[in-house]
Amino acid sequence: MTLDSLRLLRNILLRSVVVGLAFALFMVVATISGWNTWTQLVSTWFHADQATLTQLVLQFFTEIRFFLVFILLTPGLAIHWTIKREEARKA
C-alpha cells in the first residue's frame, strides 16, 4: 500500500468515528428525553418491563462504544502513527 492509500483509509476511519460519535450523542439525547414515553410504548408493544428495556439500551450503547473505539478508532490511530513514522523515516 502506498502512503496515499493509507492516508485515505485513515481519514475514512477517523471521520467515521466522528460521525459515529455524533449519532451516538444524538441517540443518547433522544433516549433520555423520551424515556418515559417510549418505555410505556415499548412495554405495551413488546411486553417487556422497564428493567429488560434498560438492559437492552445499556447493551446497545456499550456495543456502540466498542465499535467506535476498537473497530474504527484503534486502526485509524495505528495507521496515523504508521504514516507519521514513514514520513519521519523519509525525511
Q: CA-CA distance, 27 to 62, in Å (whole number)?
A: 13
- Residue 91: per-residue pLDDT: 84
Choice between 61 and 43, residue whose per-residue pLDDT is larger:
61
Indicate the number of domains in the chain: 1
Reported pTM = 0.86
Return the pLDDT at 89.
Answer: 94
pLDDT at res. 9: 96
pLDDT of 33: 95
Domain that holds residue 49: 3-90
